Every structure is written in structure tokens, then in C-alpha cells.
Amino acid sequence: MDTEPTGRAVEAATVANLRDLGGIPLPGAGAGRSVRPGALLRSADLARHDPHTDPVLTGRGVQVVFDLRTTGEREAAPDVLPPGARPFVGDVLGSHPGVAPARLGELLADPVLAEQELGGGRAEQRFRDAYRRMVLSPGACSAYAALVQTAADSGTHPLLFHCTAGKDRTGWGAAVLLLLLGADHDAVRREYLAVNDAVRAQYAPLVRRFTDRGGDPEIAAVLTEVRPAYLDAAFEALAERWGDLERYAREALRVEAALDRLRAELAV
């Protein structure tokens, strides 16, 4: 059993895949430093959030909800914000709204469509391609730059960021924030993979209906989990275009001036 430090799952009845990144070690920020507990949260969307019966976000005092979804996703399943929280949108896939991470529900609802688009062993490659877009496309860079800048601002914490399932766009967002804060790659990978049980549980009813109607279980698995190959594709794209994280932060995200503030806010 892996006992290395990672984020912590937070129980919530109406918010899926809610995690607190607090406590993740930040050796690059200095010996003994880690992410400030309670300051940086990640989750699936808040479309089913009920702040009256499930006050976990209210109790934590969430100040900003940063939504990484496309316009279509936001319109189909609008967030229900906790009282007092301010919304912020950073659309990662706005220029590529047809890619699989933005269409999980649609593809799981239609086994024929899923087979047409993802069958024949193409599903995992489509996700690797999507991760490359999340690194390389100007729109994605703008969205993640806004996430970093927001996280670096005082008065935004606790900050909750999310996409639909809280695994792909949110997973890369968490990786970017953690690396810029000073986490090592092993810790980033552990946190990235730690969401799988929660996402599988979240989508289990849809997956059962999908496979009962003849859907390919492997396609369902690709759609509802994260895999090391996806994160590797993102890191490979970053290395090919910019060489290292520092150039990515400076030239793609243009957040170099915010890094000291980010670490001052979130590293303890």
C-alpha cells in the first residue's frame, strides 16, 4: 500500500471527487515545506452541490470557484456555488470542445457513438492527444495562467478548481500548481492517480448502463480514469515545446512574476 504523502479526499454528499491538496511536500520551496492545508481544493463540477444539506464547502469558507469547463458543459450543468464564493472561468478546451474529456457524459450515454469515435484501440490515444492540447494550445495556456494567477492572489483561498469529473483538466491544473509550488514529479504523479477510485464511483451508474447496452468496457475505463500515459503525454509536450517547467511558466503561461506570491500564499 502506498503511504507516500498526497492530497486528502474530503467527504461531501453532493460534490464528487473533492480533495484538499494541503500537506503535499514542497521540497523545491524549502526543507519541510508543504501545501497549506485547506487552501487549495479540487473536485468534479458543482452542478449537484446543495449547500443547505451538504455544507462542507460553506464550512470551509470557499472564496473562489474556478471552472475549467467549456461553455457547453457549463450551460448543461451550471455550478451551484457555496454562499459568498466568486466564480471564475478558465475554459481549457474552448478551441477543442469536441475532445473526449469534455464529452464524458455524451460518450457514455451512446455506445455506438463511443465505438465510432474511440473504438479499435483509439480511446487512450485520443486522451493522450487531448492532454497535449491542454499543454500546447494558446487557449489552454491562458486558462492555466489564469488559474495560477488566481491562486497567487491574496483573498482567494480557499480556492476550489474543477472541470467535469475533476480528473483531466483539473489533474493537469493540479500538476502545474504543485510543480510551480515546488513539489517533485513523484508527488505530482501520486496526486494525479489518486482520484481514480472516486471517479470510478462517480461514473459507475453510467458505466453499468453503457456496458449493459453493449458498450466496450475498455472504452468506459479509458473515459472514467486517469492513466500514467496521459500525464506522460502532457510532460512530453511541455518538454518538446519549452524544454522545462521554468520556460513553460515564463513563455507559455507568463506567470513568472506571480510565482513568489503563489509560494507565499500556499507554501508553509
Active site residues: 163
Closest by CA position to 65, among listed 11, 49, 260: 49
User: How far apart, in whole angstroms, are the C-alpha atoms of residue 242 and residue 56?
Assistant: 40
For 165, other C-beta atoms within 10 Å of its C-beta total 26
Is there a contact between 137 and 252 (Cβ–Cβ < 8 Å)?
no
- CB-facing half-sphere around the CA of 58: CA atoms within 13 A: 12
Cα-flanking dihedrals φ and ψ of residue 254, to 5°?
A: 60, 45
User: How far apart, in whole angstroms, are the C-alpha atoms of residue 59 and residue 71?
Assistant: 29
Is there a contact between 78 and 60 (Cβ–Cβ < 8 Å)?
no
User: How far apart, in whole angstroms, are the C-alpha atoms of residue 130 and residue 153?
Assistant: 29
Is there a contact between 113 and 106 (Cβ–Cβ < 8 Å)?
yes
